[in-house]
Chain A
């Protein structure tokens, strides 16, 4: 992988007229248009973006440029974009053109960003390998150096976003994370992936998967780029009742600040019970990289980790089964005809949803059914509370928690056929999601196959600023991108 230019470098180049907005767009658009990794469901025409490019250039000429002016971004095809087909990588929405712009993408537009296209993802963000997309799997730009002909998954569900940034077809991409969908693909593609605290970024206009878990966040080449994006998208939104109205920090300011006081980082031993030495090595590397700083690493033990995955796979499908009820072929989306109403529903939804989505709708319907609700859904909600409490107990002792992001490197497309084996990919990211905590995945090293591996740092609620500062420090010390 070649070293990528950071957002700040690009903004400077644009300011100094070393490159024009048009040239920058063309450079990324050219790669996107090839779409050799199938990371886009839709690439926008330069013509379509003409006026945006011109007004952006105009602002640079008059010195009134905005924070992300002219920066080409990819957008996961889960964000509704006004006038631009938004499919959630599902057949059932394959013809859907929203007449509104999601809150998050609107913030990016307000800050001058220019969209390259809509990134492929798992259907309705349900998947960990981007293989459930109606538009086919995304290919990880990285190759196993021992088996270079094998096509690998980029992770999921924001696999198209990660592959797009890794292949150099956009500077950064907006993803969404429900149980690890930003962090896991970022890890498998050697990138930075930030899932902010639940409530930081509005869910308004994002095709819903599991409302109590979904959170937008960036996949970027660097921690600093993530801060750029977070500054733009983390805002209170009145139209999302779960949006937090706390005062946001300037995440970019002082991002290079070195640690000026002692911090404690907890390493949960229970996360490392069954992982390969290569994964353990990522944690060790990270510890070593901070050896010169006043950081104390302590062993912490969670009591609830073993229950997190099953809790997640009750709550997320339950919410999904209800959130996806609106895709019935009646008002928009793809309709299959039938001789009566029930047939229209049955035919449209059977044909419109893929296997994984169908599976989760069925699981969700089951766990909410009369007679099973208490045993599954209510129980899962109780465990979720315990998981939150468990994190808060640990955060009384430490400032951050360090874990691997995934239990493995990128695997071969089509290799994991068993859904449970696939779900295991999210074992380290899911607890954070259930607790609603911010988590970031950083590239930490390469496997023996030459594939990227990542670490996850978890902060306490709304501690994104400190989380990004520490991540920036670790990134510099690990020098993954050098």
Chain B
């Protein structure tokens, strides 16, 4: 049924900025502290307290501006968004309204056919986060945790350029990746560091835009996808039953996978925005903006191009590595502190190392302390001290910190046999009673060679140097 309809989606993404203190107070910007631990007089809205802008937030916004192709506005203004709620101690949220710090940017996302789609971003502005109200501890009372009050957010508002759940997930993950790369946001969606409000409407292809509903506060890709799919169908059902979609603010119920109305437009707040008289407008000079640029971290696509061109790594493998910034940190550390070929490191990383990480459910970053051991191990392989297979066997031990690779090789008895005379002896033994196969080989069957190599490796318990075995075997068989 949805074949006749298409969805039109715009996204408002709230990214919590990775700063040591809050947007307008010196309280620590930390997740996971005891309730109300990171709260000072400003955060708790005490009489006479005044906000002081944390300049680090402006710098993060400027970096985002460069990364997402924004116009960085030299003049921006903090305004007050007025509403009452117990987790909003001031009675207003300081945000930017008429004059945001960033305007008109874009981000390119990959399409299934390999082409890129440009998603235009209308604006991004700085604002304070609110605290948290907790309603499920006590039947009678609600509890307030103000730790999150005043945490800096960058709200990134896209144009309605997204037309599927895939688009949204691609856009959101690409945004997340970029913000993490430039150290603006830690990208931790579970902790709420990155949340999205989805504005969705449906229309007939090419038709006029429909009435949109806004689904608030989605903090996982799974929920985003579910919410979009449910809301898409809901709106279609309403329209096909002859009804009309009302402009509503919706909540997504993660237990049922359904969206439900929170408030309709007629009950929407009048936020009475006006410039915050406690703060001066932010007026940036060209110098202040341009001096941020040299400190910009490499962006994901820049990194990918470098991996492909400089390190000669396959595009697919590069893509896997750059997916998460942590991967690149681990990878580049290994590249920089060893002379093992980057391409070799890359294939081990996306192969056995990622498998280990997944298996043990650990952080990529926790392996940073073993980078030297890993590359030492790879060196042992490329120097033919151990076989590739032995390397795979030793790797988990190395990653668990059980010892240096060279020690482990000895301990596990995996040193490769590269002694020619010893190997000759083994090969001679392996050829005993194999007249039939030998003549097959001499008759032109190359497959038999593999059989002999396998047999020799087996009798060395895998420690024989396969290249040498191969070479000696050939010499002997050709006689």
The docked-state distance in angstroms from the alpha carbon of A399 to that of B279 is: 30
**Nearest CB of chain B from residue A247's CB, rounded to whole Å:** 19
- Pair A205/B45 contact, Cβ less than 8 Å: no
Whether A282 is near chain B, meaning CB under 8 Å from some CB there, is no
Decide: B48 and A331 in contact? CB cutoff 8 A. Answer: no
A297 at the interface (CB under 8 A from B): no
Residues of chain A at interface, number, CB under 8 A: 44
Cβ contact within 8 Å between A100 and B89: no
CB-CB < 8 A to A327: which residues of B?
A: 47
Is the pair A325, B86 in contact by a Cβ cutoff of 8 Å?
no
| Contact of A102 (CB < 8 Å), options: B48, B82, B91 | B48
Stretch at the interface among B49-57, B205-213, B320-328: B49-57
Q: Mark A89-104, 1 if CB is under 8 A from B, else 0.
A: 0000100101110100
B365 at the binding interface (Cβ < 8 Å): no
Mark B22-58 against chain A: 1 for CB-CB distance below 8 A, else 0.
0000000000000000000100111111111100000
Q: Mark B108-151, 1 if CB is under 8 A from A, else 0.
A: 00000000000000000000000000000000000010000000
A13-21, A350-358, A363-371: which lies at the B interface?
A363-371
Q: Is B412 an interface residue (CB 8 A)?
A: no
Known: A203-B48, A204-B50. A242 touches B278 (CB 8 A): yes
Q: Mark B304-347, 1 if CB is under 8 A from A, else 0.
A: 00000000000000000000000000000000000000000000
Residues on B with C-beta less than 8 A from A208 are 47-48, 278
A239 near B45 with CB under 8 A, answer no
B422 at the interface (CB under 8 A from A): no
**Contact among A242, A330, A332 with B280 in the assembled complex (CB-CB below 8 Å):** A242
Contact B41 A100 (CB under 8 A): yes
B272 to chain A, nearest CB (A): 4
Chain B, Cβ-Cβ closest to A240: B50
Q: Which of B45, B48, B82, B278 contacts A80 (CB 8 A)?
A: B48
Size class of the B contact interface (CB-based, 8 Å): 20 to 34
B179 to nearest A CB, angstroms? 27
Contact A341–B279 (Cβ < 8 Å): no
Instruction: Across the interface, name the chain A residue whose C-beta is closest to B25.
Output: A239
Query: Which residues from chain A contact B50 at a C-beta distance below 8 Å?
Result: 203-204, 239-241
Choice from A204, A242, A319, A332 contacting B48 with Cβ under 8 Å? A204
Known: A93-B47, A204-B50, A326-B47. A211 touches B90 (CB 8 A): no
A205 touches B91 (CB 8 A): no
Cβ contacts under 8 Å, A99 to chain B: 41
Partner of A318, one of B44, B84, B274: B274
What chain B residues lie within 8 Å of A98 (beta carbons)? 46-48
| Interface status of A86 (Cβ within 8 A of chain B) | yes
- Complex formed: what's the CA distance from A206 to B278 in Å? 12
Known contacts A322-B272, A368-B82; A207/B48 CB under 8 A:
yes
Chain B residue, CB-CB nearest to A96 = B47
Docked CA distance A206–B80 (Å): 19
Is the C-beta of B92 less than 8 angstroms from some C-beta in chain A? yes
CB distance from A451 to the nearest CB of B (A): 34
Residue A88, interface by CB 8 Å: yes
| One of B47, B53, B274, B279 near A86 (C-beta < 8 A) | B47
Total A-B residue contacts, Cβ distance less than 8 Å: 95
Say if the beta carbon of B277 comes within 8 Å of chain A.
Answer: yes
Check B270 against A369 for contact (C-beta < 8 Å).
yes
Q: Which residue of A lies closest to B87 (CB)?
A: A330
Establish whether residues B84 and A207, one from each chain, have CB atoms under 8 Å apart when the complex forms.
Answer: no
Q: Is the CB of B272 within 8 A of A331?
A: no
Instruction: Scan B63-103; emit 1 where CB is below 8 A from any A CB, else 0.
Output: 00000000000000000101010100111100000000000
Known pairs A208-B47, A326-B90, A331-B89; A370 contacts B277 (CB<8 A)? no
Q: Which of chain B's residues have a CB closer than 8 A to the CB of A102? A: 48
Q: Say how far A240's CB is from chain B's closest CB, in angstroms.
A: 5
Chain B residues numbered 253-290 whose CB sits less than 8 Å from any CB in chain A: 270, 272-274, 276-280
Q: Which residues of A contact B84 (CB under 8 A)?
A: 325, 328, 345
Bound: A322/B78 CA distance, A = 14
Q: How far is the CB of B138 from chain A (nearest CB, A)?
A: 15
Let me know if A326 and B48 touch, CB within 8 A: no
Does A212 count as interface, using CB distance less than 8 angstroms? yes
Once the chains bind, are A341 and B86 in contact (CB under 8 Å)?
Answer: yes
CA distance A240 to B50 in the complex (A): 6
Q: Is B46 a contact of A319 with CB atoms below 8 Å? A: no
Within 8 Å of chain B (Cβ to Cβ): is A238?
Answer: yes
**Are A241 and B45 within 8 A (Cβ)?**
no
Contact residues in B for A377 (Cβ distance below 8 Å): 274
A240 and B52 alpha carbons, distance in the complex (Å): 7
A316 CB to closest chain B CB (Å) equals: 10
- Tell me the complex Cα distance, A241–B25, Å: 12
Shortest C-beta distance, B269 to chain A (Å), equals 10
Chain A neighbourhood of B48, CB < 8 A: 79-80, 98, 102, 203-208
Give 28 CB contacts A-B under 8 Å: A80-B46, A93-B47, A100-B41, A102-B48, A203-B50, A208-B48, A208-B278, A210-B277, A211-B276, A241-B50, A241-B53, A241-B280, A318-B274, A319-B277, A322-B82, A322-B91, A322-B92, A325-B82, A325-B90, A326-B45, A327-B47, A328-B86, A330-B144, A331-B44, A345-B84, A368-B273, A369-B270, A369-B272
Binding site for A on B (CB under 8 A): 41, 44-53, 80, 82, 84, 86, 89-92, 144, 270, 272-274, 276-280
Identify 4 new A-B residue pairs, CB closer than 8 A, beyond the known A238-B52, A241-B53, A319-B277: A322-B92, A326-B47, A368-B272, A373-B274
Binding site for B on A (CB under 8 A): 79-80, 86, 88, 93, 96, 98-100, 102, 203-208, 210-212, 238-242, 318-319, 321-322, 324-328, 330-332, 341, 345, 365, 368-370, 373, 377
